[in-house]
Amino acid sequence: MNKATRTTSLRQHKLTFSKDNNSSLQVQTRSQSFKQNISISPDKKSQMSPTKQNSVYMNGQLLIRPRSKYNQLGNLSSSKLQDSQKIFLIQQAQQQQTQQQRAEQSPVLHRKQQSDKGLKHDLPKISPIKARQPIRQLQSDMNQLDLFKKEQIKQSVTRIAYTKSQAGKNEDNLTKTNQDSFISLQSFKDNMSLFGVCDGHGQDGHKCSQFIRDNLPKNIDSLLSLNPSSIPESISKSFLRTNSQLCNFEEIITTFSGSTTVISLIVDDTIYTANVGDSRSIICRQQSNGSRSAISLSNDHKPDLPQEKRRIEQKGGRVEPYIDFDGSSLGPARVWLKTEDIPGLAMSRSFGDKVAASCGVICEPEILAYKMQEGDLFMVLASDGVWEFLSNEQVIDMIYPYYAQDEGNAACVRIVKESIKLWKLNDTVIDDITVVIVFFNKQK
């Protein structure tokens, strides 16, 4: 007997269609869980197509071949509805019938189930396991509503951040070790984003900035978990803890090495900026008339500021610029020991710097809170390699065209190139240059 075979699938079971000389069709299935011969009625074989079989008879009943894994029912009416629509209607009718039977058996239980169902639907982001628990256990999860709202706020404020860091050059025009580091954690903790710039100095300055980059976020996270109600206090303690860890880390010599650091922590629509040294954070705001202004989120800590100078002198230090052999003053004001010309630090706050710390240089940050407003477009954090020759207004004017085109990487490149150009024009060296640009959503 010559046989022509065809294999297809019926509910993921293999079927083989065989045709003998008498034109009778036999279907055989091969499966560990389902084995049965299916006889196809001769008067129905004309309905079978070599490419699409819609129905077969098994044990005298008409079976509809399922078209997808979602069709688990055997008998369906021959309407023009799709298989999935038919299944939905059948399941819906079955559910209504089941609910009606339960309501007739226990009206009180039925009303409680309907009430529970409505409550579960209203609660966002509750796991399926919790959703199956009694309603009294779900009441403690109502604070998830607040978390959900905060997450929505965060998504509507911070869009994306861009970064670029480039090493400077020494007097011989040779590229030196980049002592800058940056922090860019858009999804930092719960509804928070964290950005920062660390500018190292001294022999181990690059190690100091990298240590702060790696450990400061961890300490902020840890202390915020212990005291979430006081964000400024947690940030301040995290700076002190990180500095203690850095100064006691044997692999980094912090006698004359350290790092400035500025961070901006975005919580909902509030920006907490903590600064130690002369790195800086600003924000660009656009007014209703289209004009733009630069708003400082931090203050540079220079030794000749009255409050900073007073503290240093009270600790036994002195503040004055470098004096050359002719008695002329060179450069900015610096921190010195009272009787020795060390360390010559050009900022009044810093991580590390043990010698400078002995005469009034501190690592305690100045923390400013800023409430975001409509019209705030983007935020910029940068090391003093940018701010040495560029004003806040110049920086935002350079970045804005790229913000309008959503070209953040190009904006970073423009800031770095312009900074290098100005260093070449005004000095014999080029400082390390690092910039972090955070674009906010255009619609809040």
End-to-end alpha carbon distance in the chain: 77
Q: What average pLDDT does this structure show over 105-120?
A: 52
Q: What is the mean predicted confidence (pLDDT) over 189-206?
A: 94
Contact assessment for residue 383 and residue 275, using Cβ atoms and an 8 Å cutoff = no
CB count in 10 Å sphere of residue 357: 22
Is residue 218 within 8 Å of 286, Cβ to Cβ? no
Amino acid at 62: L
* pLDDT at residue 183 is higher than 50: yes
Q: Assess whether the previous peptide bond of 343 is cis (omega < 30° from 0).
A: yes
Domains and CATH numbers, the chain: 4-65 (no CATH), 95-151 (no CATH), 160-301+347-440 (3.60.40.10)
Amino acid at 216: L
For 238-276, b/e burial (b = at least 16 CB within 10 A) is bbebbbeebbeeeebebbbbbbbbbbbbbbbbebbbbbb
Q: Which residue has the tokens 């100095």?
A: 201
31 touches 14 (CB < 8 A) = yes
Q: Dihedral sign, CA of 217, 222, 224, 225?
A: positive
User: Considering the chain, what percentage of its residues have pLDDT values greater than 70?
Assistant: 67
Cα(390)–Cα(417) distance, integer angstroms: 12
pLDDT digits (tens, 9 = 90+) for 274-290: 999 999 999 999 998 98
Contact of 337 with 248, CB cutoff 8 Å: no
Give yes or no for residue 298 having a pLDDT over 80. yes
pLDDT of 256: 96
Mean pLDDT of the residues in the chain: 78
